[in-house]
Amino acid sequence: MIRVEGERLVVSGPATLATAAALLEQARAPLAGAVREVDLGEVTEVDSSLLAVLFAWLREAHARGRPLALLGLPPDLTSLARLYGVDALLSEASGR
């Protein structure tokens, strides 16, 4: 799930369709606050719904005029992003 460490939002465990709504809800307050980074290094399982969650978070940060860096992108997620043709968007947010 989600925990906040300073300006970092750490996502752990599965990030799939079954958890997407909870991830969106749990991140709402931290993203409105001081969070500037999302660390995905502890994610254990992904599907394409995580892309939708990340893009929602990036849109929210952009709407607030804040940067949001994505760290520790799981290889399976980058493969999915490449498959769907959105890898450049993730690369930009992850600094790659």
Note the pLDDT of residue 7. Answer: 96
pLDDT reported for residue 21? 98
Digit-coded pLDDT (tens) for 2-55 = 999 999 999 999 999 999 999 999 999 999 998 999 999 999 999 999 999 999
**With a threshold of 0.85, does the pTM exceed it?**
yes
- The 10 Å CB-count burial string (b at 16+, else e) for 12-21 is eebbbeebbe
Look at residue 59 and give its three-state secondary structure. helix
Task: Write down the pLDDT at residue 92.
Answer: 81
Decide if pLDDT at 96 tops 60. no
What pLDDT does residue 90 have? 84
Domains of the chain (ranges, CATH numbers):
2-94 (3.30.750.24)
